[in-house]
Structure 1
């Protein structure tokens, strides 16, 4: 059954009206900057190969610039979403162009004397292809001379096959430049999105509102880009030209590109880019029109807030007195030296403040949650629109600093070895009584205390998942929390939680582990991906070996399953009972779906030398990942 979202309660409407006093709503400079340099709006809807609409600018008309914030949206988030609705092809400065907001990320093109340099490629092939078509129509039909990935996240490389022909990369005609060693970039770009891709995709669907309708009661934007689109094509081409040292330069299409290597910041591998001929600078996602995540809610490695500040300061030292524009892979640029310096200094100090104050309170014995409730940014930092929590939030960033520096335990013995959530809930429900918990949840809801209402009702929902009254009341509480949230990811999580409680588990709209990314994985990571599928207790007594001979790579690897773990190493092993030979794409299928081996062998795609029953035994030890697992119910 599909439920219609409820209205904002009087308490939520009042909270959102009161929030206006915390924001500088009279500052309209961002609106002028987001409009600046528009060459062409998006010409039409964007369709997928199956004819389905992937992007339609008209779907965001409810975010019209003159539309006042509704009671169901925090006014700060409404303002940011109105800015993000502005999209199309823009001239940033002579020779530098961006296509913004047909995707969660931007595509930037630098026009040189004899070619185009593409900086970041959006998340999807379809949106990148539309962006390049607009460049070709309105700017230049010069060939692509190089592609640059600023960092290892999928929304910056996923559209690459809509930008460049893989054959041109393979031939060396078009380099793909990226931070870190080639192996490190592949490892982090593919490993992060694939090895934990099932869990990450599920969590991302909540955080980015992919399961919600696009309206004032659902997803309004992703905060740093337009709403993510399910069902797009995510591609990957491995880098060919690594940047591992600050000061490295490349001459591309007649222009100089100088790089500042900034690892372990917003991504494990990241870099800033300076183009002196254009006086143009990007700090990738280390400087945005939003506070960033120190720990993403979708799930990724915890970042180093101190490094954000360190590399932004180094950038100011190198180019701060020269930069005339800062453009990013999300949102809109900042023009003028004063504006660029203000942005970088303020964001530097914001990340440093979060880092230092979190650790100050840690050293005084505070727990992560206590510190997050206490720390507020100084007004000079907190009132800046670009420091507001449209991607990360101050609250969860403070807690992430604790995670990065001190680990997952908060220091309180009660949290060292607690009972799991369902067992804890059952014990509390037995102690307090279901009726009393429900009554308290209702009392808190009616009082506008939605945090407590959701928290106390969580006990009852986990103790009695079939308790419809508890589920629907908790959904109501989550819904109001979503309406009040300034951070779009908090909003998305709360509103999608309400949807799951009311309607049941919703199908996952996308998966980061696309076939393109799986096939692009280096061989060692491919075995790591297989290893996380192994059911450890079931494989505890197994002892089996298989040699995999990758004929297109001229490599052989031995896989061994023993003591409940899967290990792999280069080289053939003596007396291995089975050798599987074939190209990497076919062997990846055998490794992850052993039951396909017989069919692949009959078709001639692979050869099996030895005892094929080893694969049957191996296949019986592998787990399957359901992308539709519940989040807010047991």
Structure 2
């Protein structure tokens, strides 16, 4: 086929596709993507908030103290000593951390003496490898002693937490604005690499005085978003690095991506601790630094008072017998706090905060007997359909949409879709409801979650993209004992509930010994040797991790002798088949 013929053929295909899309739109209305994009809007205050971290830049806070902002969701901070530097927080991926390291190298070529993780969150820890320039002599990595416990919790809920995080941060949204406390999460899209390195130095006191890279500092335990969170006090610079205890947005007292309840009074006490240091410079791990003692004191004071207000008023209404939904509608901040520039709901919200206070004190039960054993969503949907029928539900959903009662329209359309998957009108109503709710959110988290859910409902986004790569990276980097802890929650009692056996693993390269016992539908992992195990496995950590990630690798490992099994290879294979691979 000649060039002109090829060009004509391509044009014909394009025209056919264009006319086909126009015909589909004429008959069925706009495509789902067009429908979402037509309704999607951005709260103007949230849009303007982007200026806080609009472009990648290095800010010199004061002599020897630099902040990298706008590169990713979180900041990375460099403290410069006479001959070496210290890095505090490393952002969420190897790639973004490399960009930051290159920018820091424009300031100084001094080697990295130490890295400090303020807490375990991915956006503060996953880029560490980029700051390790000589693997033969890596810097020490400091963290709170409880950080590994937090890592274990994160990795055991990886699948659920990952997808919810992708929604909260809007990683796959075509029109994401910002993430409330940073530009965007630069991880999870399948293109970024996990560069986590586990810490080797731990602090356990309330205040730990150190000298790193010749720099005098105090590491201060200031739990807030996490129990393992630490801050850094630099007396020479009169600067406090406050991690995530304060940023220019209402605090995320509960994260909709899924987190344990956050202790609000503990957070308040941590801010009181920072106030006592009375710093001239306040350097958060999100948003820009603050300068000036009186300015910092004023911001920290309203911040801690807002958190205490949410806590105290929620408990007040709990003791009046109100349920969490009613309390969430009741509690609002006083005008002077609500309008403060550092308490705008670009990230957390008062509503979500009230709910986490309720559950932290009283758990999931509202107190009303009707909620003791509630019907599932599927059961409710079935009964709603039987009660009034699909047509009536759709009629009410349409009316709710027309009157901008978007939550009710969302619930009604969801009932229809549970019993009638793919129902076009119900899908359209649900998409319109999700998009309208998302467009009205001042919180980036709320907007991202609603809109991502709309795109998922329309099968235009898959939030599991990148999950397998993340899992494979995690398996390679995780300590072997954490991998075995994760195995516990991958056990399949429906297939192996009858199994009673035990396996002893000996890893030659690390001299690590782990026993795995299966009984009563559970798997029990313990460190140490097993005296009377049914199967004994001798191998290396690397080979075992490869086997976890690949069935083919498992077969070659058996054949090559890289794994030795006493008690029968087939028996061991049957035992390992009791665990989900993904």
Superposed pair shares fold, TM > 0.5: yes
Instruction: Describe the shift of the 1:589–1:561 C-alpha distance in structure 2 as closer, same or farther (beyond 3 A).
Output: farther
CA distance in 1, matches of 2:472, 2:210: 32
Quick check: 1:260–1:315 contact (8 Å CA) kept in 2? no
Aligned to 2:325: 369
Counterpart-to-counterpart distance in 2, 1:366 and 1:239: 44
The residue number in structure 2 matching 1:194 is: 155
2:89 equivalent among 116, 120, 124 = 120
Contact (CA 8 Å) 2:548, 2:581: kept in 1 or not? Answer: no
Report which stretch shifted further, 222-231 or 361-370.
222-231
For 2:115 and 2:459, the matched residues in 1 are separated by 44
Alignment counterpart, residue 258 of structure 2, candidates 290, 293, 299: 299
Q: Hey, what does 1:261 align to over in structure 2?
A: 221
Distance 1:505 1:83, change over 3 A: closer
TM alignment of 1:14-163, pairs within 5 A: 72-137=41-106, 139-163=107-131
What SS does the corresponding residue of 2:207 show, helix, strand or coil?
Answer: coil
CA distance in 1, matches of 2:553, 2:518: 19
C-alpha contact 1:274 1:281 (8 A) present in aligned 2: yes
Deviation at 1:553? 2.2
Q: In the TM superposition, what is the alpha-carbon distance from 1:302 to its structure 2 partner?
A: 1.6
Give the stretch that moved more between structures: 589-598 or 419-428: 589-598
Alignment: residue pair count: 548
2:18 aligned partner: none
Question: Compared with structure 1, are the counterparts of its residues 597 and 508 closer, same or farther at alpha carbon in structure 2 (3 Å cutoff)?
Answer: closer
Indicate conservation of the 8 Å contact 1:305/1:351, yes or no.
Answer: yes
Name the counterpart of 1:41.
none
Structure 2: runs of 5+ lacking an equivalent: 1-30
Contact preservation (8 Å) 1:87, 1:102: yes
Matched, 1:395 2:351: yes
Any residues of structure 2 matched to 1:446-485 within 5 Å, and which?
Answer: 446-485=402-441
Equivalent residue runs for 1:322-333 within 5 Å = 323-333=279-289
Residue number in structure 2 paired with 1:560: 517
Q: Write the distance in 2 (CA, Å) between the matches of 1:523 and 1:140.
A: 37
| Structure 2 residue matching 1:559: 3-state secondary structure | strand
Deviation of 1:595 after TM superposition, in Å, equals 6.8
Q: Which has the larger radius of gyration?
A: 2
The CA distance in 2 between the partners of 1:407 and 1:592, in whole Å, is 37
Is 1:212 matched with 2:168? no
Q: Deviations over 1:30-63 (max 9, x none)?
A: xxxxxxxxxxxxxxxxxxxxxxxxxxxxxxxxxx
CA distance in structure 2 between the partners assigned to 1:448 and 1:587 by the alignment: 55
1:409, distance to aligned residue in structure 2 (A): 1.4
**Could you tell me which residue of structure 1 aligns to residue 492 of structure 2?**
535
Measured after TM superposition, the shift of residue 166 of structure 1 is 6.9
| SS in structure 1 at match of 2:206 | coil
Greater shift after overlay, 115-124 or 451-460?
451-460
Distance 1:330 1:5 in 2: 34
Superposition map of 1:138-537 within 5 A: 139-165=107-133, 167-168=135-136, 171=137, 174-179=139-144, 181=145, 184-189=146-151, 191-213=152-174, 218-229=175-186, 230=189, 231-263=191-223, 265-317=224-276, 319-320=277-278, 323-503=279-459, 506-511=462-467, 513-537=470-494
Q: Distance in 1 between matches of 2:52 and 2:395?
A: 42
Residues 593 and 619 of structure 1 are in contact (CA less than 8 Å); yes or no, is this contact kept in structure 2?
no
SS at match of 1:121: coil
Distance 2:512 2:38 in 1: 61
Deviation at 1:481, TM superposition (A): 0.9
Question: Secondary structure of the equivalent of 2:496?
Answer: coil
1:322-341 alpha-carbon deviations (Å, 9 max, x no partner)? x1111111111111111211
Residues 2 and 442 of structure 1, relative CA distance in 2, 3 Å threshold: closer
Superposed displacement of residue 285, structure 1: 0.3
In structure 2, the CA distance between the partners of 1:572 and 1:166, relative to structure 1 (3 Å rule), is farther
* Secondary structure in 2 matching 1:548: strand
Task: Quote the residue 1:66 is aligned against.
Answer: none
Deviates more, 1:377-386 or 1:588-597: 588-597
**Residue equivalent to 2:506:** 549
Query: What CA deviation, in whole Å up to 9, does each residue of 1:127-168 have, x standing for no partner?
Result: 11111111112x101111110100011110100001114735
How far is the alpha carbon of 1:555 from its aligned partner? 2.3
Q: Does 1:585 align with 2:542?
A: yes
Deviations 1:177-207 (A, max 9, x none): 111x2xx312212x23311110011111111
* Secondary structure of 1:537's aligned partner: helix
RMSD of Structure 2 on Structure 1 (CA): 2.0
Q: Give TM-score scaled by structure 2 length.
A: 0.90
What per-residue deviation string (whole Å, max 9, x for no partner) do you get for residues 246-298 of structure 1?
221111222211121124x2113111111011111121101111122222111
| Matches of 1:507 and 1:142, distance apart in 2 | 40
Residues in 1 aligned to 2:36 and 2:412: alpha-carbon distance in whole angstroms:
21
TM-superposed deviation, 1:486:
0.5
Question: Alignment partner of 1:104: what SS?
Answer: coil
User: Partner of 1:574 in structure 2?
Assistant: 531
SS at match of 2:322: coil
Change (3 A) 1:363 1:507: closer
Query: How far did residue 594 of structure 1 move?
Result: 6.8
Counterpart position of 1:26: none
CA contact (8 A) 2:93 2:195 kept: yes
Provide the secondary structure at the position in 2 that maps to 1:132: helix
Measured after TM superposition, the shift of residue 100 of structure 1 is 1.1
Q: Secondary structure at the match of 2:284?
A: coil
C-alpha displacement of 1:404: 1.3
Deviation at 1:372? 0.7
Deviations 1:552-573 (A, max 9, x none): 2212211111111001223333
C-alpha separation in 2, matches of 1:250 and 1:451: 53
CA contact (8 A) 1:472 1:501 kept: no
Aligned partners of 1:411 and 1:595: how far apart in 2? Answer: 52
Task: Give the counterpart of 1:601 among 554, 558, 562.
Answer: 558
TM-score by length of 1: 0.83
- Cα distance in structure 2, aligned partners of 1:343 and 1:447: 40
